[in-house]
Structure 1
Amino acid sequence: MGDSTSGQQSDPQDASREFRYPLLVLALTTGIAGFVDAFAFLRYGAFVANQSGNAVLLGIGLAGRHAAWPESAASLIAFAAGTGVVSQVRAAPSRWSPSYRGLGCAVVALALWAVLNVLLHYGRHGGWPRIALAAAGGLAMGALATLFVRTAGITTAITYQSGTVDKIGERIGRWLAGPDTGRRRARHGTFLGLLALTCYAAGGGLGTMAQEQPLWVPAWGALGLSALAFLVRSGRART
């Protein structure tokens, strides 16, 4: 998916169209994704946001070198399910805007994960509780991934940072050697990509330090994400 301005006014998945202070929204969502991703990997042995990593871990596990491959598989499947279901929820006619609906689904899914994380003692005994928790986290991150795919018409991602790195390289090339007409936009896109990567990495650091309180990490993620409700732009519902 390339950078484009043509769909900025018609695509409800542009953060600038749907949220006030879109840079804050980008920073907060990617930070939360990194926060819970680091926690899940260290506690469950699987990612909940980074599904590229889970695909690799699944292959390593099937080759007999990663015992937690069922957790990776559960997270990957649940992420796809979350994305598919919430995309349909966003597209359905409603008095509520797609952003409110998508955000509501993501917060509910994170809250469900938080409850399960407490009830199942953050998977400390391994086995099916860790698989269930990895699936719950993947479902929540799949829902979150639908919230927006662009910021000011420029492709940005919440959970898929491999694509962000790819786009940064492409934009830096256009910034330094591309035509003059595209350099400003390439510079803006580079900044957005670096912001997303920085916040994701910072969230990962916080998620690592939060291992001291493992019961409440998903709950903190749900609380932070719920704050976005105050940043959704008011106006008529979009279908």
Structure 2
Amino acid sequence: MGDSPSERPPDPQDAYREFRHPLLVLAVTTGIAGFVDAFAFLRYGAFVANQSGNAVLLGIGLAGRHAAWPESAASLVAFATGTGVVSQVRAARSRWSPALRGLGSAVLTLALWAVLNALLHHGRQGGWQRIALAAAGGLAMGALATLFVRTAGVTTAITYQSGTVDKIGERIGRWLAGPDTGRKRARQGAFLGLLALTCYAAGGGLGTIAQQRPLWVPAWGTLALAALSFLLRSGRSRT
């Protein structure tokens, strides 16, 4: 439970294995997710990263109390599609590392959303335009969700923060009252969860402020995500 990252078995979806400065990568990716999620909710009426929220909004809409339920449905389906497709892209045999393929897929889908957001004038006409944009955002966040699922062997999520809150509570309990052998690991996990949650919330605040320039919000997210390519350990597959 207390092994250092270098002593653990290779894990192709661990930020420590694939990125230099993995804590920075965790902070940036969760911040981007919160940034675009807040923007999409305020602009389209649907989340693009928080799919548990979309499931609730879909139910509220079907009960006649949320007119934007088609946007939530479109984002849900697109998120699942992005996750499914990019997971297969990462798993395929290639000369390029899974992290590079995953990051490239996330950047491309986020760039596609940025272009559509500009062409469709950030969905200001409503109707099918917002549905299409919610789907484009969901596709990008589904791709981003596959980038890594652990940091130093500890489960961490980029887009699904309900699970993060659950894990924080569990880990704090083990840290305070668990066996001595697991307390260091629990403390590390609680810190990583709090880091992810804080950055997601901070991103949400920035995404709200960015409503003043709605045309460029997904583009800013694309640039920030593309910058992580400089932190990849290697573009070549080590498998």
Q: What is the TM-score of this pair, normalised by structure 1?
A: 0.96
Aligned to 2:122: 122
Aligned to 2:23: 23
**Cα distance per residue 1:16-47 (max 9 Å; x no partner):** 11000000000000000000000000000000
Aligned to 1:212: 212
Q: Cα–Cα, structure 1 residues 73 and 96, in superposed 2: closer, same or farther, change >3 Å?
A: same
Gaps of 5+ in 2: none
How many angstroms apart in 2 are the aligned matches of 1:8 and 1:115? 41
One-letter amino acid matched to 1:140? A
One-letter amino acid matched to 2:103? L
Give aligned pairs, total.
237
What displacement does 1:9 show? Answer: 2.8
Q: Cα–Cα, structure 1 residues 238 and 38, in superposed 2: closer, same or farther, change >3 Å?
A: same
- Following TM superposition, the consecutive aligned residue runs of length 4 or more in structure 1 with deviations greater than 3 angstroms are 3-8
Aligned to 2:55: 55
Helix, strand or coil at the partner of 2:64: coil
For the 8 Å contact 1:8–1:17, the answer to whether it is kept is no
Aligned to 2:92: 92
Aligned to 1:32: 32
The answer to whether structure 1 residue 110 and structure 2 residue 115 are counterparts is no
**Cα distance per residue 1:87-138 (max 9 Å; x no partner):** 0000001111000000000000000000000000000110000000000000
**Cα distance per residue 1:144-179 (max 9 Å; x no partner):** 000000000000000000000000000000000000
One-letter amino acid matched to 1:56? V
Helix, strand or coil at the partner of 2:207: helix
What displacement does 1:187 show? Answer: 0.5
How many angstroms apart in 2 are the aligned matches of 1:208 and 1:9? 41
The answer to whether structure 1 residue 13 and structure 2 residue 13 are counterparts is yes
Gaps of 5+ in 1: none
How many angstroms apart in 1 are the aligned matches of 2:55 and 2:164? 18
One-letter amino acid matched to 1:43? R
Q: Cα–Cα, structure 1 residues 145 and 46, in superposed 2: closer, same or farther, change >3 Å?
A: same
Helix, strand or coil at the partner of 2:96: coil
What displacement does 1:4 show? Answer: 10
Aligned to 2:192: 192
Q: What is the TM-score of this pair, normalised by structure 2?
A: 0.96
Helix, strand or coil at the partner of 2:148: coil
What displacement does 1:235 show? Answer: 6.7
For the 8 Å contact 1:9–1:17, the answer to whether it is kept is no
Q: What is the correspondence of 1:118-157 to structure 2 with a 5 Å cutoff?
A: 118-157=118-157
